Amino acid sequence: MVLKVDPSKKWTGPTRPYDIIKEGVIAVVVVALLAAGLSLFFSSPDEKAVTLKSWSNTNAPDFVQTATGELAGTTTSAGYGAPYNHAAKGPTLGPLKLQDWAGVRIPVDPATSFVTEPLAILNDSSTNDAVTAWKAASADQQGKWATAYADALGKKPDAVSLEDTANAFGPVPTMISSLLVMAKTGALDGALTTSDTPLPTNFTKPLLFLADSEGYFGDLAAKQHLGGDQWGVMNETGSWPGQSWLWLFSLWYQVEPFKSSGNADTLVMTLMGFLTLCLALFPIFPFIRKLPYKIPIHRLIWKKWYARKL
């Protein structure tokens, strides 16, 4: 005869000795020994942080092209939208303007924040004149100068400055050359991190600038298999395990329709939110709540108990 057990009732059947405190202490000791052993054998990765200084000294042409792109408004940051600026409308999900609902709460105008504001602290007359000329020009004129210089740099990818033979670049070459000098000395890192508060804890501006780089920051990440198409966020530098628990989150970015969607972040975040809700609601989903009965893995888990009943 099968003993029927109502799981909502307090257990009144046979028991076995158990020491919850002893079990807990042994578990902590076991985990401590495991962690210590793994730490001694495998240590942990520490790939040194990069800076605007290391970028400009390692790949000055990329720095120059990116900085010019900030003035031309062609970088990712310059066209980002909320929460940094109004340059673009953020992705939507049906009628929901998800990216825009909170507005611009972390204002960053790359041309100003990354270029003209830092240059203002330089005590250099030619740079000051160039910045003054830039600010005095119309937005249309600024765009023409910056775009012309960006196009010219694009044709000479190894160049860090170009002669303005056609008088088309305006003050841009002077500004960018001065910015490169600042960056190479490390002054630009300091300028961007202290622009809002004198003691920096917020690295939004230098990181956004670095992330706009096409030939440095992204390349370093790709070499460490951290790219978005390499299951990036769940990986760690070197051969260490990373955030493997983000595997499902990373998976969606590797498959269609998310892989080629310009709205991938919104779609993946929404999907993961929905799946998380589903996980929490497993107990009330008719099909899922019956799965443990249909696939009897519980027979293995309670093998001793079932054997005892027989």
* The one-letter amino acid at 264: A
CB 147 within 8 A of CB 47: no
**Reduced 3-state DSSP string for 253-277:** HHCCCCCCCCCHHHHHHHHHHHHHH
Question: Binding residue for other proteins (CB under 8 A) from 204, 214, 215, 261?
Answer: 204
Question: Does 162 help bind other proteins (rule: CB under 8 A)?
Answer: no
- Sole window of 7-15, 113-121, 137-145, 157-165 interacting with other proteins (rule: CB under 8 A): 7-15
* The one-letter amino acid at 158: D
Question: Does 79 help bind other proteins (rule: CB under 8 A)?
Answer: no
- Sole window of 63-71, 110-118, 150-158, 207-215 interacting with other proteins (rule: CB under 8 A): 207-215
| Burial letters 167-183, b for 16+ CB under 10 A, else e | eebbbbbbbbbbbbebb
What x-and-dash track marks residues 113-132 binding other proteins by CB under 8 A?
Answer: --------------------
Question: Binding residue for other proteins (CB under 8 A) from 67, 70, 74, 91?
Answer: 91
Question: Binding residue for other proteins (CB under 8 A) from 112, 221, 230, 258?
Answer: 221
Q: How far is the CB of 1 from other proteins (least distance, A)?
A: 11
What x-and-dash track marks residues 172-201 binding other proteins by CB under 8 A?
Answer: -----------------------------x
Cβ nearer to other proteins, comparing 128 with 266: 266
Q: How far is the CB of 245 from other proteins (least distance, A)?
A: 5
Q: Which of 92, 48, 8, 52 is nearest to 193 (CA)?
A: 52
Q: How far is the CB of 118 from other proteins (least distance, A)?
A: 17
Contacts (CB under 8 A) with other proteins, residues 284-303: 284, 289, 291-293, 295, 297-298, 301-303
Q: What is the residue-wise DSSP string for 87-120?
A: SSPPP-BTTB-TTTTT--SS---HIIIIIIHHHH
The Cα–Cα gap between 194 and 117 comes to 11
284 secondary structure, DSSP code: G
Question: Binding residue for other proteins (CB under 8 A) from 56, 75, 99, 116?
Answer: 99
The Cα–Cα gap between 90 and 81 comes to 6
The Cα–Cα gap between 38 and 128 comes to 56
Question: Does 202 help bind other proteins (rule: CB under 8 A)?
Answer: yes
Q: How far is the CB of 240 from other proteins (least distance, A)?
A: 8
